[in-house]
């Protein structure tokens, strides 16, 4: 009998829909607006969230109908996760795809959806909704913290 949790014993392709959805830690980082540099293709995160991101829960406020409001919303799939370079380094989908374990604060590990926020990994309290700014000024909101969250914790554990 296999006593390993599903994220350690299955590939992304082998997961059920429920297992797949539970890999989302609720950090909200993938819902931050990004800027792509035309010449290099480099992607830069901003502290500006999608208009549908609930700033407190860091979850989509209209997940099932999000394409009605945000037609270019990127849906993570078992097929495209390996190709999405902008996934934050702490993303459960990215970690499992790379054969790595989930962090202690992930709700599947901790049993508590609040630990991602308590650990300082999420966008809670750091993002501004895109409806509150002039999107022509998006470059003024470029930040690097979505790519560095958790590094302090990793340094402490080392």
Averaged pLDDT for residues 55-69: 91
Phi and psi at 34, nearest 5°, equal -125, 155
Per-chain mean pLDDT for the chain: 91
Q: Which two tokens stand for residue 82?
A: 């390996």
Q: Which two tokens stand for residue 51?
A: 């208009």
Rounded to whole angstroms, how far apart are CA atoms 114 and 111?
9
- Which residues are paired to 40 by β-bridges? none
Is the pLDDT reported for residue 151 higher than 80?
Answer: no
Q: Which two tokens stand for residue 20?
A: 């797949």
Is the pLDDT reported for residue 36 higher than 90?
Answer: yes
pLDDT band at 152 (very low <50, low <70, confident <90, very high): low
Q: Which two tokens stand for residue 138?
A: 């998006």
Q: Model-level pTM?
A: 0.88
Q: Which two tokens stand for residue 122?
A: 């999420």
Averaged pLDDT for residues 129-147: 95
pLDDT band at 150 (very low <50, low <70, confident <90, very high): confident
Q: Which two tokens stand for residue 43?
A: 């992607």
Averaged pLDDT for residues 58-73: 90
């Amino acid at each position: 009998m296999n006593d390993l949790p599903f994220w350690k014993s299955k590939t992304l392709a082998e997961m059920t829909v429920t297992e797949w959805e539970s890999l989302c830690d609720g950090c909200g980082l993938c819902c931050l607006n990004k800027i792509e540099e035309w010449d290099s293709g480099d992607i830069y995160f901003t502290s500006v969230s999608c208009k549908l991101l609930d700033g407190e829960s860091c979850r989509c406020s209209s997940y099932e109908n999000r394409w009605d409001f945000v037609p270019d919303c990127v849906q993570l799939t078992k097929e495209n996760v390996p190709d999405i370079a902008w996934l934050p380094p702490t993303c459960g989908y990215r970690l499992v795809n790379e054969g790595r374990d989930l962090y202690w604060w992930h709700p599947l590990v901790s049993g508590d959806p609040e630990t991602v926020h308590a650990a300082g990994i999420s966008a809670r309290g750091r993002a501004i909704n895109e409806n509150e700014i002039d999107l022509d000024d998006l470059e003024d909101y470029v930040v690097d913290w979505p790519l560095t969250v958790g590094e302090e914790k990793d340094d402490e554990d080392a």
